[in-house]
Amino acid sequence: MADHAVHHDHPHGLAHQFEDMPQQKESAIIGMWSFLITEILFFGGFFATYLIYRSYYPEAFFEGSSHLDISLGAFNTAVLIISSLTMAMAVHKSHEGNKKGIMVYLILTGILGLTFLVVKYFEYSAKIEYGLVPGLVWHPHGENSPQLALFYSLYFGMTGMHALHMIIGIGLLIWLFIKTAQGTYTAEYNAPVEIFGLYWHFVDIVWIFLFPLLYLLGTQGGGH
């Protein structure tokens, strides 16, 4: 890659601080991976808390999990996995510099992301109706484990933080879509699409862990 950087002839999309496009792209990708590592540690705090309390109070966690709607959770899991595929396709199209292709797959990804959030909204509404929000509306029916609130604190904390990442992701996606429509991304300059793809896949993977830990746990029956 020993091309001679000529300062006057500035390639499209190259920021002033970089010498050439490969350097810029490498920086963007290392930057996003570094950010995702911080995200892993951020969610790691939640997962550690979950694991500790689940080992303290398995009954409460089985019980709490059995109140969650597995079919909605499974549907959302499928939605996110498909959205990862469409996002990967958008990145693929960006390598070709195919403007229309990027736009189509970004729209599909966005629709799937919104679908996920709409389903999440209905799930949350049901939980509010049944009084399963700790601290705010907490009047669960029947006999409950004393630590049931802990499970639902984690449920809302973890899925809420995940949903927040989805909302930020959709915001970024809209911005990317506008930029794409303006013809910003080419076969040479497409790092923003690529690193957004990394972010989107990361948020999906978080859900891949949340689904079994929160939803599928209840199918194992109560107690050891």
Could you tell me which of 106, 79, 112 has the C-alpha nearest to residue 190? Answer: 106
Instruction: Name the minimum Å distance from CB 30 to other proteins.
Output: 5
Q: Give the one residue of 8, 135, 142, 223 binding other proteins; rule: CB under 8 A.
A: 135
Token readout for 131 is 């009084």
Q: Give the one residue of 64, 86, 109, 153 binding other proteins; rule: CB under 8 A.
A: 153
Contacts with other proteins by CB under 8 A: the residue count is 48
Report the length, in residues, of the chain. Answer: 224
> If binding is defined by CB under 8 A, does position 17 make contact with other proteins?
yes
Give the C-alpha separation, 124 to 137, whole Å.
Answer: 12
Q: How big is the chain by its Cα radius of gyration, in Å? A: 21
Q: Which stretch binds other proteins (CB under 8 A): 56-64, 103-111, 113-121, 204-212?
A: 56-64
Give the C-alpha separation, 17 to 53, whole Å.
Answer: 48
> If binding is defined by CB under 8 A, does position 121 make contact with other proteins?
no
> If binding is defined by CB under 8 A, does position 154 make contact with other proteins?
yes
- CA 74 to chain CA centroid, Å, is 16
- CA 154 to chain CA centroid, Å, is 17
Binding region for other proteins (CB under 8 A): 1-5, 15-20, 22-23, 26-27, 30-31, 34-35, 37-39, 41-46, 48-49, 52-53, 56-57, 60, 134-136, 138, 146-147, 149-150, 153-154, 156-157, 161
